[in-house]
Amino acid sequence: GLNFIDLMVRQGNIDNPPKTPLVPGFECSGIVEALGDSVKGFEIGDRVMAFVNYNAWAEVVCTPVEFVYKIPDDMSFSEAAAFPMNFVTAYMMLFEVANLREGMSVLVHSAGGGVGQAVAQLCSTVPNVTVFGTASSFKHEAIKDSVTHLFDRNADYVQEVKRISTDGVDIVLDCLCGENTGKGLSLLKPLGTYILYGSSNMVTGETKSFFSFAKSWWQVEKVNPIKLYEENKVIAGFSLLNLLFKQNRGGLVKSVMDKLLNLYTNKKIKPVVDSLWALEEVKEAMQRIHDRGNIGKLILDVEKAPTPLVS
């Protein structure tokens, strides 16, 4: 799977990146080729998907057994590579952090991306949840059925949301950071939850610019704790990779994965795969995410031959 965090790794916009040379990638699917001595529950030949702490973009990947899950029989390898990061992130934010319940409303940015589409599908599993989404206008036709109210990402979505829901929304999921933080907090209802889970605005042009990076953080409005208390608002952060690889919550993630696979088997959710790319085409694939051209997930397929560029 190709994720926005991979672009941030490439640009050096993360804390303590590993020293080069490094193989990027945090999730994959494939067939078990070998097992450690004490591994139980898996056999050689099993179809699996896994989280990996880097090194996922490879023909052979090694990862601890607690990060590996069996693929349902009717799920393809490309769907499986598109599944773990987006759906676990979306599920944990909605149900573990924000406690999504019947009748609530959710605002999600980048509604056409992998996490955005997972959020929309998971919201549809709860009765009467209203989903407000922002996305580039050329994606609207393709994703309009998954979101209740869709706005152009460059429009004044705050006014649009307030026009439809005068007292705002219950949950804001913000992967943009920067100036959207203040806007998101202003839209929260009392007892609402605002979750920061990424910073896609940090990914700038082709070159790494610390000035634009600093500027995007500078625009994060200082959150005043007294104001939170007066307004009854919750602000939270979520990082799946830290949860897995730094905070040892693999068991919790496994229980979430079990619930998600149950939803998949019952045809309640299904990963949206935007496109498949050969490993040699990673530059073009990254550019597609960078330009926000994708609807759903981009997959690097080690068996795919590069497609010749048509002049």
Angle at which helices 250-265 and 84-91 pack, to 10 degrees?
100
> Can you give the length of the chain in residues?
311
Which residues of the chain fall short of a pLDDT of 50? Answer: 204-210, 311
Q: Which residues of 194-210 are buried (b: 16+ CB within 10 A; e: fewer)?
A: bbbbbbbbbbbeeeeee
Q: Are the C-beta atoms of residues 164 and 149 closer than 8 Å to each other?
A: yes
* pLDDT at residue 182, as a whole number: 83
* pLDDT at residue 218, as a whole number: 53
DSSP state of 83: S
Cα 260 from Cα 198, distance rounded (Å): 22
* pLDDT at residue 43, as a whole number: 97
Please tell me the pTM assigned to this model.
0.92
Task: For residue 288, give both structure tokens.
Answer: 């597609």
* pLDDT at residue 207, as a whole number: 42
Domain residues of the chain, as ranges?
A: 4-83+247-300, 87-242
Q: What is the pLDDT of residues 171-206, one digit of tens each?
A: 999 987 667 788 889 999 999 999 988 755 555 444
* pLDDT at residue 206, as a whole number: 41
* pLDDT at residue 153, as a whole number: 85
* Residue position matching structure tokens 């990638």: 25
Architecture per CATH, domain 87-242, reads as 3-Layer(aba) Sandwich (3.40)
Q: What is the pLDDT of residues 189-198, one digit of tens each?
A: 999 999 988 7
Residue 304 region, left (φ>0) first, then alpha (ψ -120 to 50), else beta? beta
Q: Are the C-beta atoms of residues 8 and 14 closer than 8 Å to each other?
A: yes
CATH topology of domain 4-83+247-300: Quinone Oxidoreductase; Chain A, domain 1 (3.90.180)
* Residue position matching structure tokens 């696979």: 261
Q: Is 14 exposed, middle or buried (0-12, 13-18, 19+ CB in 10 A)?
A: middle
